[in-house]
A and B are shown apart, each in its own frame.
Chain A
Amino acid sequence: WAPPDQVLENVLESVLEFLTAARDRNAASLVCRSWYRAEAQTRRELFIGNCYAVSPRRAVERFGGVRAVVLKGKPRFADFSLVPHGWGANVSPWVAALGPAYPRLERICLKRMTVSDDELALIPKSFPLFKELSLVCCDGFTTRGLAVIAEGCRHLRVLDLTEDYFHEEESEVVDWISKFPECSTSLESLVFDCVSVPFNFEALEALVARSPALRRLRVNDHVSIEQLRRLMARAPHLTHLGTGSFRSEPGPGGALSVSELATSFAASRSLVCLSGFLDANAAYLPAIYQVCANLTSLNFSFAGLTDEEFIPVIRHCVNLRTLWVLDTVGDEGLRAVAETCSNLRELRVFPLDATEDSEGSVSDIGLQAISEGCRKLESILYFCQRMTNAAVIAMSENCPDLLVFRLCIMGRHRPDRITGAPMDEGFGAIVMNCKRLTRLSVSGLLTDKAFAYIGGHGKLIKTLSVAFAGNSDMSLQHVFEGCTRLQKLEVRDSPFGDKGLLSGLNYFYNMRFFWMNSCRLTVKGCGDVAQQMPNLVVEVMKENEGEMDTVDKLYLYRSLAGPREDAPSFVNIL
């Protein structure tokens, strides 16, 4: 016999097990104390969007039954060298807390955090049931750490290393692939294309052969096309394949022929996602024609293909939903995409030459073509040197379902290439017509008017990225007052000062963070904010000891943990 409220709590817990979305859980936890407790015991995935927003101890105390942890550290601008080395986001306090608290932990996903080999070594020790490790844009570890994971985590299903900063002397590389268990493994996903050092290929081939559940394999650029063929023969059920260099390293048998490679691809009937092509020899591309019709995702963003090399391939990819390419394919290549991939949802066009003075090989013409052919587009990232308002407006009208619009006109302050006008109208049309838009990155010559549009219409925008834009603090005011769902704001090199900063006072608690780089802030202005907002951590960084009052970098974020103790000397927490 259990007391009635205990019965209720048990029932509640059983029901809440089915609630997975964090927002729903957060809402449920606010109903009453009983619901708070039940939710806390049944939350299986702990998502911490800013590792400094809450202390590990507090998180661990509240949630008792966690099986998976997602932790994010540095702000996104760290990817572009704007966060100084040694700033923070070390995973160590978290690993130290999670270990004793969650012995049944199965999954860890870290983004933009510093993880050392010793910390990786704690994972198999603390979590005997560990299954999935995913490190995205992390740094601090080497093959030594990978070896410990491979050897210690006997139930490992997923080891995904994506775009991590990997620096290791070739002489110190450890043969981590050989450390996986000798018996049949439960590996489903092995992604290591960013681990750009040589490895034991025979060991990998053997590992793949004894991993019957393997569906995702992405290898690094030290894998030749001859070796790729061997791997594919061992894993005919792969769904996601990262093809390595896609270049021939002929052995004694000579170079692989295109038709031999084509046979391998034809045998991989389950392939839906192809990537890699890290040093591709375009002569081998026809080998993939047979799988193109099944592909939903294709990543050519490391292969400098010309339009002549690219177009014959893309013409086969009629079911593509995600495409990443380099701008070397040109407007012509994009036209072919528009004509073929009517189901495209996500497009990313990266620059081969990522400098401001580069030629840039795609323009408004390509963007216009895409907008006309890919009406279902939801996400676009487009690097170019020449753009017009007209093309952006066309995209806003043709692709109203856009959730993510990121346009990077690489030359700073570039106006419309035909009219010479600022790009205000183009971005204005995007926020007006794409009513579901949640993420926006702007560029080109922009005045306060653009931000008036953004504030006026971008009601669902959660992430906004601004660089070299705006005339005055009014821009920031428009954004704060209008974008009621804003969570992440990153601004660099724009003429915004303390007044603009202060206009956000009422909104900072609703946001995850605000990063301002090389604007016109002063220490006093930032100090005012810190004073008025006790639950906000205000970090300022200066690069030159010279001018006393200016601030080079401002990073402010809401936090229950108060000022962090691991701040390096160049960070001043106000």
Chain B
Amino acid sequence: MAGLGFEETELRLGLPGGSNEAEEAAAAVRSSGKRGYAETIDLVLKLEPASAAAPPSEDDEEVADGVAEAQPSPAAADGQLKRSPSQCSVVTAAQPDADPEKPRAPKAQAVGWPPVRSFRRNMLAATAERGGAALVKVSMDGAPYLRKVDMGTYKSYQELSKALEKMFSSFTIGNDCSQAQGMTGMNESKLVDLLNGSDYVPTYEDKDGDWMLVGDVPWEMFVASCKRLRIMKGSEAIGLAPRAMEKCKSRS
């Protein structure tokens, strides 16, 4: 990710530090400009939780840029400036998950920068939320190639599993679904049955890099957090169940 050296917020004449050049050049090479939002992610077949080692980056520093930030006052006292409706959307878009465990805290954003109208910001944010054109790679243990699915075209776990079933025939979850009434909500006993009964278990990697069992959370939440799908051999997935439960519990 092309980071911004905070030393640069101090205006001075002359060239910025050489390290920034290397950063910029590396970033330019890395990003070929094909995927703006990194919707397709290279599948890495590892089960270790990915959350532990996030690379340290310049974004770790949270520097309050005194001149640049025109943070509006939160309290709407009389005589003080209030945020207009359009302002709220700007700040919301800028706010990341407020998870203290995350090493990557983006630096404080300047209001109204970059200068994109809130109509456009809201529209694009809504599209991303609806999962429009969010392509997710699907792999199945033992299958010779990866497939891609557009998460936006499905409205429920049942629809998704039907599609996956078509893609990877003899995908057992589809059979289970026809017996159980879909997989909405958390249901420990169903998951345990799944693990015992079938050869394959659908799992997904969420935004935090953790591998979860498909069906743990409500559909919309799943679509919003799913980055890639992997249909694992049941034996490998057993270790997931307790952790997935823990995570869901700690979240709620």
Contact = CB atoms under 8 A, between A and B. Distances in A.
- A associates with B: yes
Interface of A: 77-86, 137, 139, 163-165, 167, 194, 196, 221, 247, 278-282, 301-302, 304, 306-307, 326-328, 330-332, 350-363, 365-366, 383, 385-386, 408, 410-415, 417-418, 420-421, 445, 447, 467-468, 470-471, 492-493, 495, 517-518, 541, 543-545, 552, 569-570
A351 B120 CA distance: 10
A304 B81 contact: no
A411 B70 CA distance: 16
B92 to A, nearest CB: 11
A493 B67 contact: yes
A301 B116 CA distance: 12
A412 B35 contact: no
B31 A81 contact: no
A543 B116 contact: no
A417 B83 contact: no
Given A363-B28, A412-B68, A352 B130 contact: no
Interface stretch (B2-10, B41-49, B177-185, B186-194): B2-10
A516 B106 CA distance: 27
Nearest to B81: A84
Give the contact-size bracket for chain B: 35 or more
A447 B84 CA distance: 33
A328 B37 contact: yes
26 contacts: A81-B83, A81-B84, A84-B72, A85-B84, A139-B85, A221-B123, A279-B132, A281-B150, A302-B123, A307-B33, A353-B37, A354-B116, A356-B107, A357-B1, A359-B2, A360-B36, A383-B114, A408-B114, A410-B113, A417-B25, A418-B25, A420-B21, A493-B68, A543-B81, A544-B73, A545-B80
A517 B115 contact: no
Given A354-B93, A361-B36, A468-B113, 5 more contacts: A80-B113, A80-B116, A84-B72, A307-B33, A386-B2
A380 to B, nearest CB: 15
Nearest to B108: A356
Given A194-B119, A415-B16, A552-B70, A85 B114 contact: no
Given A307-B34, A355-B94, A420-B16, A84 B110 contact: no
A417 B114 contact: no
B133 A86 contact: no
Contacts of A366: 33
B81 A357 contact: no
Contacts of B123: 196, 221, 278, 302
A108 B119 CA distance: 22
Interface string B234-247: 00000000000000
B86 interface: yes
B37 A357 contact: no
A330 B38 contact: no
A302 B127 contact: yes
A165 B114 contact: no
A361 B31 contact: yes
Contacts of A355: 93-94, 106, 109, 114
Nearest to B89: A81
Nearest to B30: A359
Contacts of B27: 359, 386
Given A81-B112, A355-B114, A357-B106, A420 B20 contact: yes
Contacts of B18: 420
Given A366-B33, A408-B114, A417-B25, A86 B82 contact: yes
A81 B90 contact: yes
B110 to A, nearest CB: 7
A517 B70 contact: yes
A361 B150 CA distance: 21
Contacts of A82: 70, 111-112
B250 to A, nearest CB: 28
A79 B117 contact: yes
Contacts of A196: 123
Contacts of A163: 117, 119-120
B87 interface: yes
A79 B106 contact: no
Interface string B198-210: 0000000000000
Contacts of B9: 412-413
Nearest to A137: B117
Contacts of B2: 357, 359-360, 385-386, 411
B79 interface: yes
A363 B133 CA distance: 23
B15 to A, nearest CB: 5
Contact of A331 (B33, B79, B130, B133): B33
A421 B68 CA distance: 21
A352 B33 contact: no
A141 to B, nearest CB: 13
Given A86-B82, A569-B79, A467 B113 contact: yes
B27 to A, nearest CB: 7
Nearest to B57: A357
A543 B80 CA distance: 6
Contacts of A326: 36, 124
Contacts of B124: 302, 304, 326, 352, 354
B99 interface: no
Contacts of A411: 2, 4
Contacts of A301: 120
B36 A495 contact: no
B1 A167 contact: no
Interface string B143-156: 00000001011000
Contacts of A279: 127, 130, 132
B13 A471 contact: yes
Contacts of A137: 117
Contacts of A302: 120, 123-124, 127
